Amino acid sequence: MDRSKCRRLPLTPQQTPTVGWQDYLLEKLRIQKQHFVVILSRTRALLAKSFEELPMPRLFIVLPKVVGIVDGHGEPFPVQFRFYYLCECGGHTALKKSKEVHRIHIANHPGYDLDNHDEFFDKYGRYLLLMMYMVKCGVSSAGREVKPLLDLMSAEAINEDQDHLDFDRENIRCLVDNMITYLEDRIRIKDRDMDPTSQWELHPSELTPLKWYLNRTEDGSVSGHLHQTQTQERHCRWICSKHLQEYHESTIQILQELLTSNGGDYDYDKTMNKIELRCDSVVMEKCFRDAMSNVRWIQNSDVNQRSLTELDLRLDCNTIPYCYQDLDCDTSIPTSTENVRINININCLTIGLGLSGLFLTVGGNHDGIRYFEMEIQAFEFLHLEILKFMQGCHYTYLTVSDGISPEADNCLVDIIRNSPKLEGLHIRCRINRLLTIINLVLSTREKAIQDGDSLSLRTLTVSADDLYESTITFIGDSQLFDMRTSISLAREDHLMFDFIVQYGWSIESLSLSLSHGARLTALLDSIQERGSRMKTFTVIPIDLTTTGLNILDRMTR
């Protein structure tokens, strides 16, 4: 690569020292020193700042793009600047016995040409100026370190070739000095009485528009081949691909040491990109969950706890890191049993926990949790602590798969009235409990509304032995509701007559065989007169009277 060297000119002409001139120089040096101390404190503050979420990398520099020589110096032509990211590698990316140097350096990326640089410097100029001073002088703060220019450009320091860059160790100092002078002059022209490095703070949300000023590469990327990671303190860092693998291995190492030091089993299959972990202690399980919450690149996890003393966990890992926020499924009762509490991340598409008849499913996307489903077999099978957990827990959908006994009716009432985000309820039950459960839920909701309570429940589905299924949709906080029912029977039964008397108007689909069905046909005729929503009627008439056949004939017209 053809690179040009910079020749530095003296700042002031040689003059014969005089007493007045010496005093002037001393005062100027004092002011410069004071100014430098202020700049140094601000660069340390900038480096020490940490955020849990960053939409874009926050450390970058801009250099004049060297495309030619003006008057023998490396001065930039107008509107020619190049943008470079810095990799934020450090202690959180390094293995304990790593031989690699993990410190902030220029990213392994050729950089981006700046579009609309005037607007860019108006928006980010003060922040950029501090970073230019940071890479010129070097700074360390909060356990993080930026080396001065020559070390920043050292290929040996980061063990990688930097031929992709448009500058080298010999001319970067001149380019940085030119950039600092350019930014200071620009800021002083706009604000003559203001310190150029004041008001440098930048909120994470202000990083998002950054991408619109970068002339994108062929792949459309604007992140400089950097990847988002998090430290154990849950601070976001953007690192280069070279340090990414070691970051993954360091987080796996945390889990491995935690388990093996406490008698657990560990197996990492790199070909399948999957970890299998087993531990036998409930206390150990809690420690593991705390450690797992720091492994930010886990994409999917399936948890199946067969007993209170055994945990069998599989983690499907993704080689691309993601920045997650933790969310505790149990958001209301901090003292609830640890066996049903689990830390999850909001970008994890699904995560399940099976425990003593209880199964939880949580799903969402980058915008947050979308649903939290809970499935139980029956209330009487659950431990008292789990019942306490369910009351007030922020799940959105509950399924009871093995019916509700009369003894558990009060549990159902408590769940409906004390679950602030319960939107859907699905109950599978025996035929003889169908009407009782429907009426119990309707009366519970009606009583809550009369008491001035607001319920989030919007849908109720009750199915009985795969023969009956009714879905009720509640309308706002009113006592009004809509109901749709399908029935499929091989013969008539007493429940069907009772159901038709109360909710026959809700039947959309009916399939059955009629034997001596004069009473049924009369009921259906009565429903027809009151307004039926029947869409499908499948019937095998056996030994019907003439009156019954005439009623069926009228219904099908």
pLDDT of residue 460: 94
**Helix 518-531 with 494-503: angle, nearest 10 deg:** 10
Regions of the chain where pLDDT drops below 50: 1-5, 7-16, 68-77, 154-161, 272, 299-360, 362-369, 516
Structural domain boundaries in the chain: 19-230, 489-557
Asked if 109 and 225 touch (Cβ cutoff 8 Å), the reply is: yes
Rounded distance between C-alpha atoms, residue 306 and residue 312, angstroms: 8
Neighbouring residues of 190: CB distance < 8 A, sequence distance ≥ 6: 122
Rounded distance between C-alpha atoms, residue 235 and residue 512, angstroms: 64
Structure-block tokens of residue 553: 């004939």
pLDDT of residue 294: 55
Residues in the chain, how many? Answer: 557
DSSP codes joined into one string, 365-398:
ETTEEEEEEEEES-GGGS-HHHHHHHTT---SEE
Structure-block tokens of residue 296: 């930010």
Rounded distance between C-alpha atoms, residue 497 and residue 502, angstroms: 9
pTM of the predicted structure, to 2 decimals: 0.47
Buried b (16+ CB within 10 A) or exposed e, 489-510: eeebeebbeebbeebbebbbbb
Neighbouring residues of 112: CB distance < 8 A, sequence distance ≥ 6: 82, 83, 214, 215, 216, 217, 222, 224
Q: Name the residue among 178, 177, 181, 149 with its Cα closest to residue 165.
A: 149
Q: Name the residue among 152, 144, 201 with its Cα closest to residue 173.
A: 152
Strand (E) or helix (H) holding 307 = strand 298-307
